[in-house]
Amino acid sequence: MWTVSVLCAFCIIPVQSRTIRRQVQLQAEVHPTGRVPPVPVLVAVMMLQTSVLLALATAAGLWLLPATGLRLWVVEHSSQGVALPFSLQAFWVVSVVSGVVAGIVVNFVDRCWFQPHMTAKRGQAAISSRFLGLLSSFYGGVCEEVLMRLGVMTVVVFFAQKLGLGGSSYWLGIAVAAIVFACAHLPGNYMTYGKGSIVTCWTPVIPLFYSGEGDSVVAHRKKASVFID
């Protein structure tokens, strides 16, 4: 799982390279005497950081998962032949349809409300082509779910159960993972659109469309594909 997530993380290198290069140019205009590492070095550091975070999330999640009652049904079915308590066909249908519907809704609200009211946009959009958008969807659909669902949510559920919260621990884990997910996206959105109440309010809306680890990966990728212009 860690290997797959890291490979998906590498898909975002072209997008991040353009974003970092643009930010370096902006900083050079503001601080012409300042010195920063070359863009390839910054990208390499970013990928190393992402790989380490994915390793920690994967290790913690898989280690604590058995004690929480959570299951990676699709992964266990594919790798170990474990019988599924639900229809795999229905799983794919629900995941794909919910992902497409949520993506359309978010895209509509984004174009009709967020874009007209957002603060000054800096430079070009980070995703400016179908190909780059497709690459980004692999990062969002796999890496972010491993970090937030397998990592953050599982850890929160584990400690919440240790505190005796019982079934409420699952809801708490989902809520905390969604909040962390939103907060993790704020710096990037601030860098792209600038700070403002619209950006701050809109970013937390996205996690409301996520549910579950396995179907989140599928639905997340389908939602991402809707955003590719």
Structure confidence by residue, pLDDT tens digits, 35-85: 778 888 888 998 999 999 999 999 999 999 889 888 887 777 777 877 878
In this prediction, residues 92-118 reach a mean pLDDT of: 78
CB-based contacts of 151: which residues, under 8 Å, 6+ apart? 56, 57, 58, 60, 61
Question: What is the mean predicted confidence (pLDDT) over 139-165?
Answer: 89
- pTM value? 0.73
CA distance 208 to 152: 16
Report the distance separating Cα 164 and Cα 15, nearest Å.
44
Its domain, for residue 139, covers 2-226
DSSP H stretches of helix in the chain: 2-10, 13-30, 39-68, 73-80, 88-109, 115-117, 130-138, 144-145, 154-162, 168-193, 197-202, 214-226
- How confident is the model over 115-139, as a mean pLDDT? 65
Residue 12 is predicted with a pLDDT of: 85
- pLDDT tens figures, 172-226: 988 888 888 878 877 777 766 666 666 666 666 655 554 444 444 444 444 333 3
Residue 116 tokens read as: 């007209």
225 Cβ neighbours under 8 A, 6+ residues apart: 103, 133, 134, 137
- Our measurement of the distance from residue 77's CA atom to the centroid of its chain's CA atoms, rounded to an integer in Å, reads 24
Question: For residues 219 and 99, is the Cβ–Cβ distance under 8 A?
Answer: yes
* Number of domains the chain contains: 1
The residue with greater pLDDT, 29 or 9, is 9
Residue 228 binned pLDDT confidence (cut-offs 50, 70, 90): very low
pLDDT at 108: 83
Residue indicated by tokens 């505190």: 163
Q: Which pLDDT value is given to residue 194?
A: 66
Distance from the first to the final alpha carbon of the chain: 30
Residue 180 has which token pair?
């962390």
Separation CA 45–CA 4 (nearest Å): 19
pLDDT exceeds cutoff 80 at 11: yes
Average pLDDT value over all residues in the chain: 76
Q: How far is CA 210 from CA 33, 54, 113, 181, 204, in A?
A: 45, 19, 21, 10, 12
Q: What is the pLDDT of residue 161?
A: 93
